[in-house]
Chains A and B, each alone.
Chain A
Amino acid sequence: MLTEEARFQAFMDRINRGEKIEATDWMPEEYRLLLIKLIHMHGVSEIMGAYPEKEWVPKAPTLKRKLAIMAKVQDEVGHGQLLLRVVEDLAAPLNKTREDLIEDIYKNKVKFHNVFHMEARSWADAGLIGWLVDGAAITIQASLLQSSYGPYARVLKRVCAEESFHMKHGESIILALATGTPEQRKMLQEALDYWWESLLFFFGPREITPAVDRMLYYRIRVLTNEELRQKYLDKYVPRIQSLGIKIPDPQLRFDREKNCWVYTDPDWDRFSRMVHFNEGPKSRERVEMRRQAHEDQRWVREALLRARKQAV
């Protein structure tokens, strides 16, 4: 029989060799809890992330745009399903079910990304979400392809494959506006002005929080918040600027000496209140819609189970 310490050491050796951990493997309690925290928040963010864009399905400007944004919303909910499945297996020993994972949203026991608390006011906002919010999410998810937890890394391969369409979809809307009338270009500029700060916040605080530190230790994540934000700015700032729209931050520049982007900090306080207490412009409304969808359809889930019992 291995001692507790030797078992932990053997586990860490596997992680440090770059091996993948599977759901059926022994794992330290802390590893399990960190994974649940991260993937639950990720899954719920995919589901709540469908709301801002879903609001634009009935208002999309052409049939093709309507089909495309509907397909994208459908993908995001699908990502939520895949990720919650991964959490369910991890949370089973703690007696948590899918039911609990969803109820946590409207019991304020799980957070979701700041950007999904905000309002999609115009079609330019919808396009900007598709391009830049998805771009930020893609940057994070691309880095998580290296996660030490096998089931998460595998699901993310599929998610990233679908995100490659989301990139093109978002760009396509933005490019249409950027090559459009002065009015359309103005809409685009206003969208960037409204979203910019929240995009910077999306990656989380500059400092390495204790939870992130542990996730890095276990290779659940491999990059810090700041590293990810810098990678995002590398790829997206030049493209935004090429369109001739202005990033609303006079401090923003690439510092050659420090070899990194310098930017004005977003209002950390305002956005973290938004996330922690559902205080964003759309938080309450969307959480309430999620609650209604879940509660009002409870009878369907129960009827399905009853039908199965009768069939046996």
Chain B
Amino acid sequence: MAENKKDFDIFEVFVQETHLDSHIHVGSLVAASPDLAMQMARENFLRRDQAVNLWVVSRSQITATSYESPFFSREMDKTYREVSGYTENGRLWRMFKEKDMDIEEIVAHVREQSNPVAQEEEKPERRESR
């Protein structure tokens, strides 16, 4: 038993679903080597889901924040950085008889009859406003 503890490493598993996605953490597993971790990750996490790429990273190689630290604390309101901080624009555009435009409208416009093999996923990430 003691030997098991010594020989098996914990690996964190990251899956990239399509070429337009980043790798996303899905869980962890124990394995004796990175190669075996890769095999096991496929069996554990990708029995149904599609993927184009897989990373396994030894947990000992990960530097993480602590959940208690004030690392992410915000001293002040940051709505000036967010689209949601500019709702006033819509009202002002209406004063000029124009409607508010967002980036999705431009993305859609440049795609119009431009690329026959274009794929669905190619949209900008929707970032939630906090």
A71 touches B124 (CB 8 A): no
A71 touches B81 (CB 8 A): yes
Query: How many angstroms from the CA of A12 to the CA of B86 in the assembled complex?
Result: 44
Contacts of B39 in A (CB 8 A): none
From B22, B82, B95, contact of A165 by CB (8 A)? B82
Q: Chain A nearest CB: distance from B62 CB in Å?
A: 18
B110 touches A231 (CB 8 A): yes
Interface size on A, residues (CB 8 A): 48
Interface size on B, residues (CB 8 A): 40
Q: Chain A nearest CB: distance from B44 CB in Å?
A: 24
A contact face: mostly helix, strand, loop, or mixed:
helix
Q: Chain A nearest CB: distance from B108 CB in Å?
A: 9
Contact A228 B110, CB 8 Å, known A18-B117, A67-B80: yes
Query: How many angstroms from the CA of A67 to the CA of B78 in the assembled complex?
Result: 9
* B92: Cβ under 8 A from any A Cβ: yes
Query: How many angstroms from the CA of A138 to the CA of B105 in the assembled complex?
Result: 11
B86 touches A168 (CB 8 A): yes
Query: How many angstroms from the CA of A223 to the CA of B126 in the assembled complex?
Result: 24
From A17, A68, A160, contact of B103 by CB (8 A)? A160
Contact A142 B106, CB 8 Å, known A168-B86, A239-B98: yes
A142 touches B103 (CB 8 A): yes
Contact A171 B83, CB 8 Å, known A142-B106, A153-B122, A235-B106: no
Measured CB to CB, the residues of A under 8 A from B are 16-20, 22, 64, 67-68, 71, 135, 138-139, 142-143, 145-146, 150, 153-154, 157-158, 160-165, 167-169, 171-172, 175, 178-179, 222-223, 227-228, 231, 234-235, 238-239, 242-244
Measured CB to CB, the residues of B under 8 A from A are 19-22, 53, 78, 80-83, 85-86, 88-89, 92-93, 95-98, 101-103, 105-107, 109-111, 114-115, 117-119, 122-127
